[in-house]
Amino acid sequence: MLTYHTVILGAGASGLFCAGSFAAPKIILDHNQVPGVKVGVSGGGKCNFSNTSVTAADYLSQSKHFCKNALAAFKPTDFTALLNRANVSYEERSHGQLFARNAQDIVRFLVSRAQAQHTDFSLKTEVLDVQKQNDGFIVRTSAGSIQAQYVVLACGGLSYPALGASALGAKLARQLGLSLIDQRPALCGLSVPKELRARCKTLAGNSTLAQVSTGKHTFTEQLLFTHEGFSGPAVLPISLFCNEGEKVRMNLLPQTDALALFYAHKNTSKKMSAVLPLPGKMAAVWLGELDKPLANATKADLEAAAKQLTDFEFIPTATAGYTKAEVTAGGIDTRQINPSTFEVKTVPGLFVIGELLDVTGRLGGYNLHWAWASGYCAAQALAQKI
148: domain CATH number is 3.50.50.60
* DSSP strand pairing (26-29 vs 2-9): parallel
33, 179: one domain? yes
* pLDDT 10s digits, 231-277: 999 999 999 999 889 999 999 999 999 999 999 999 998 999 999 99
309 residue type, one letter: L
Q: Which of 319, 341, 368 is the last residue of a domain?
A: 319
Q: Average of pLDDT values for 223-227?
A: 97
Q: How confident is the model at residue 1 (pLDDT cuts 50, 70, 90)?
A: confident
The pLDDT assigned to 159 comes to: 93
Of 319, 340, 370, the last residue of a domain is 319
Number of Cβ within a 10 Å radius of residue 115: 13
DSSP tag of 242:
P
Band of pLDDT at residue 163, cut at 50, 70 and 90:
confident
pTM comes to 0.94
pLDDT at residue 320 greater than cutoff 90: no
Domains held by the chain: number:
2
Stretch among 15-19, 76-80, 93-97, 242-246 having the lowest mean pLDDT:
242-246
For position 310, which CATH number holds? 2.40.30.10
- Average pLDDT of the residues of the chain: 96
Which DSSP string corresponds to 151-207?
A: EEE----SS-GGGT--SHHHHHHHHTT--EEEEEEESS-EE--HHHHHHHHHTTT-E
| Torsion, CA 101, CA 18, CA 326, CA 104, rounded to 10 | 30
Structural contact between residues 328 and 183, judged by C-beta atoms closer than 8 angstroms: yes
Q: What is the pLDDT of residues 276-292, one digit of tens each?
A: 999 999 999 999 999 99
What percent of the chain clears pLDDT 70, i.e. is strictly above it? 100
The model's confidence at residue 150, banded by pLDDT at 50, 70 and 90, is: very high
Q: Are residue 23 and residue 165 in the same domain, yes or no?
A: yes
Q: Return the percentage of the chain with pLDDT > 90, whole number.
A: 95
Beta partners for residue 184, in sequence order: 329
Query: For position 317, what pLDDT does the model report?
Result: 95
- Are 177 and 208 part of one and the same domain? no
Is 324 a domain residue? no
Has residue 160 been placed in a domain? Answer: yes
Q: How confident is the model at residue 162 (pLDDT cuts 50, 70, 90)?
A: confident
293 and 242 part of one domain: yes
For the residues 96-111, what does the mean pLDDT come to? Answer: 98
Give pLDDT, residue 341. Answer: 98
What's the pLDDT score for residue 244? Answer: 87
What is the domain extent for residue 103?
2-184+329-383
pLDDT in the model for residue 360: 97
Which distant-in-sequence residues (6+ apart) come within 8 Å of 245 by Cβ?
Answer: 315
Is-contact 143 2, C-beta < 8 A? Answer: no
- Kindly state whether residues 137 and 218 are assigned to the same domain: no
Could you say which of 270, 289, 319 is where a domain stops? 319
